[in-house]
Amino acid sequence: MTRAVAAFVLLIATGPVLRAHHGDAGRYDEEVITVTGTVVALQMVNPHTHIIFDVVTNGKAVRWQAELGTPQQLIKQFGWTPATIKQGMKLTMIGRQLKGKAPYLNLTERANIVVADTGKEIYRTENFGKPAPPKSDKGSFIAQ
Over residues 82-133, the pLDDT tens digits come to 999 999 999 999 999 999 999 999 999 999 999 999 999 999 999 999 998 8
Tell me what pLDDT residue 25 has: 60
**Which class is 28-124 in CATH?**
mainly beta
Domain ranges of the chain: 28-124
Cα-Cα-Cα-Cα dihedral sign, residues 127, 128, 132, 134: negative
Mean pLDDT of 7-17: 40
pLDDT tier for residue 31 given thresholds of 50, 70 and 90: very high
Residue 65 has a CB neighbour count (10 Å cut-off) of 16
CA distance 27 to 9: 33
**Is 16's pLDDT higher than 70?**
no
**Is 4's pLDDT higher than 70?**
no
Least confident of 22-26, 48-52, 55-59: 22-26
Cβ partners under 8 Å of residue 4, min gap 6: none
CA distances to 1, 3, 11, 27, 89 from 65, rounded to whole Å, are 49, 45, 34, 15, 15
Average pLDDT along the chain: 83
Tell me what pLDDT residue 19 has: 39
